[in-house]
Amino acid sequence: MDVRKPYEQTYYPPVPTKFTQKLRVNFLYQFFRFMVLNLKMLRMVRKH
Amino acid sequence: MAKLLILGGGIAGQTAALHARKQLSRNHEVIVVTPNSKWNWIPSNIWVGVGFMKQEDVVFPLAPVYKKTGIVYHQAKAISIHPEGNSESAVPYVTIEYTSPEKMGQLDIVQYDYLINATGPKLNFNATKGLGPEFNSHSVCTASHAESASSALHELIAQMKKGDKKDIVIGTGHGNCTCQGAAFEYIFNVEYLLRKNNVRDKANIVWLSNEAELGDFGIGGMHLQRGGYITHSRVFTESLYTERSINWIIGAHTNEVEKNTIHYETLNGEQKEHRFDFSMLIPPFSGVGMKAYNRIGADITSELFAPSGFMLVDADYSKKSYEQWSPEDWPKTYQSPKYNNIFAVGIAFAPPHPVSKPMFSTNGTPIFPTPPRTGMPSGVMAREVAFSVVDMIKGKSDKPTRTASMAKMGAACIASAGAGLFNGTAASMTMYPIIPDFKTYPDTGRSLTYTSGEIGLAGHWIKHFLHFAFIYKAKANPFWRVVPE
Ligand SMILES: Cc1cc2nc3c(=O)[nH]c(=O)nc-3n(C[C@H](O)[C@H](O)[C@H](O)COP(=O)(O)OP(=O)(O)OC[C@H]3O[C@@H](n4cnc5c(N)ncnc54)[C@H](O)[C@@H]3O)c2cc1C
């Protein structure tokens, strides 16, 4: 991310912390999310 | 013996054809008319567009699949529908024009008892001057468009490696585009590719779109419950753009693309321009332009198709304001109101109205997304219509037996944000229902239990897995029905 400058559009949105960014590519945690996401999608498939 | 004719062998057409063939005995014929010799898993075109995959990875030849499954295949495009036959015979038929090298340009007719129109969209590049790969912008809507976008992008990267600075614009090429999700995936995959090539600092990447807000995606966005808040997708999307240093121009109708300049009008009526070295702009979609004629040869196209070229089905097409829209407006059986043996599924059916609120610039130019019909709902409606038709053929009912309203259907969507097995990411979203229902869910229009979204590597794994799973299914390999639509 470039430096965010006051009053520019990218100044306002929330941005992930380093920890959140690491978690997004952490193998173990993502393996767990992989399971959860698959279940969520299956639930969606079952809804029709 | 009945003849089921399916026009279009894309995501919806292939789903309908395989299910119908599986359900019907061999006394009945399932016929597919489609102009391509190859099936394309369109969602993976994004990865072809950045060179992560090759064109061959996302397509396969249709003829062997149809031969194996006993589906009659004409490599041709449908030109006109004759639902009452002609003066000599009352048997309905479709006029087709062959596109295979052996029969190129030859006309023929194919009779049917039941017709499923799954012809998808016409990529309407002509709607905007200078738009499209033949002119001044790239596209990823077909595998070959995506491959040429990838070559141009890699040339650009080579120049950036020499120190050149470049401007990249990705988004929509007209005020009425849909499919923002595809452009969203592409912009993040391009950004990821530039980082991988250590040239991210050499590029200014800008998102240009007809959405009134980021994260609209043609569905009015969605609310998610996360971190103790109920938050609109706009916030998450703005966050991702900020994180990846991508600026955005929204509420924009692209009215011309010159060699290195995009001209656009904004919702506040300003005419602006933006310079670029590389652009990928999704074209607006329309119907494929089939005609329809009655028994005496009079043109009845407007009775079968909306002015957009999409086919009229059992939706409520009466003119209503945004405030009057109801989930009930959306079609349930996808049956033509005029001919009960004709159906339209996937992108080919005419939606009753958009999902995002219609917006107009101060000059009166419409600038808002038209409704998306993504892969999952397209597949589900195709399957359900195939089952309805099968029941009608088997004499179980003279009416469609199945429904698949987008107002009662959920969708799962994985939007790639960079393709790497260990450091790729994707936004994984589920939503229910697709069409917001503010009566049942007053504040958000959708269920907060079933609507969710998150970004991470897991989404990329799923997206990659789905690439193989859907191609496996479309090839009708053993147990293909285990893979859901
Ligand atoms: C780049 C891109 C990425 C996408 N990514 C995703 C994603 O990640 N997830 C998702 O859910 N959706 C995604 N989509 C949307 C998805 O591709 C569509 O929802 C889906 O393809 C619609 O299926 P369809 O069968 O209606 O149309 P198509 O798949 O386009 O199929 C239409 C078929 O009809 C044929 N045809 C055209 N004209 C005629 C004619 N006159 N006669 C006979 N046949 C004809 C075409 O050749 C084609 O084979 C993406 C779309 C694009 C463009």
Contact B244, A1 (CB under 8 A): yes
Q: Domain ranges in chain B?
A: 3-123+285-393
Asked whether B136 and B125 are in contact (CB, 8 A), the reply is no
Is A15 near chain B, with CB under 8 Å? yes
Backbone angles phi, psi at B339, to 5 degrees: -130, 115
Query: Which residues of chain A make contact with B239, given a CB cutoff of 8 A?
Result: 13-16
Ligand 1 atom 26, closest CA:
B346
Report residues whose beta carbon is within 6 angstroms of any ligand 1 atom.
B 7-13, 33-36, 42-43, 45-46, 77-78, 118-120, 140-141, 179, 182, 288, 290, 346-348, 373-376, 378, 413
Contact at CB, A14 and B239, closer than 8 angstroms: yes
Query: How far away, in angstroms, is B121 Cα from ligand 1 center?
Result: 7
CA B132 to each of CA B104, B170, B204, B283: distance values in angstroms, whole numbers, following the listed order: 25, 12, 21, 7
pLDDT tens digits, chain B, 485 residues: what are they?
A: 999 999 999 999 999 999 999 999 999 999 999 999 999 999 999 999 999 999 999 999 999 999 999 999 999 999 999 999 999 999 999 999 999 999 999 999 999 999 999 999 999 999 999 999 999 999 999 999 999 999 999 999 999 999 999 999 999 999 999 999 999 999 999 999 999 999 999 999 999 999 999 999 999 999 999 989 999 999 999 999 999 999 999 999 999 999 999 999 999 999 999 999 999 999 999 999 999 999 999 999 999 999 999 999 999 999 999 999 999 999 999 999 999 999 999 999 999 999 999 999 999 999 999 999 999 999 999 999 999 999 999 999 999 999 999 999 999 999 999 998 999 999 999 999 999 999 999 999 999 999 999 999 999 999 999 999 999 999 999 999 999 98
Q: Choose, out of A44, A45, A46, the residue to mutate when testing the contact with B (most B CBs < 10 Å).
A: A44
Which stretches of B171-323 are DSSP H helices?
Answer: 180-196, 233-243, 301-304
Helices (H), B291-428: 301-304, 375-393
- For chain B, how long is the longest CA-to-CA vector? 71
Domain range B3-123+285-393, CATH architecture: 3-Layer(bba) Sandwich (3.50)
Query: ipTM score here?
Result: 0.94
Closest residue by Cα to atom 3, ligand 1, is B43
Which residue among B11, B77, B138 is best mutated to probe the pocket of ligand 1, counting the most ligand atoms within 8 A of its Cβ?
Answer: B11
Does the beta carbon of A38 lie under 8 angstroms from any beta carbon of chain B?
A: yes
Secondary structure of residue A6 in the 3-state scheme: coil
A7 touches B: beta carbon within 8 Å: no
Distance between Cα B30 and ligand 1 center (Å): 20
Peptide bond before residue B433 is cis, with ω within 30 degrees of 0? yes
Full DSSP string of B92-151? -EEEEEE-STTTTT-EEEEE-SEEEE----EE-GGGSBT-STTTT-B--SSHHHHHHHHH
CA B230 to chain centre: 29
The 10 Å Cβ neighbour count of residue A31 is 12
How far are the Cα atoms of A8, B41, B67, B365, B389 from residue B477, in angstroms, in the given order? 52, 15, 13, 48, 24
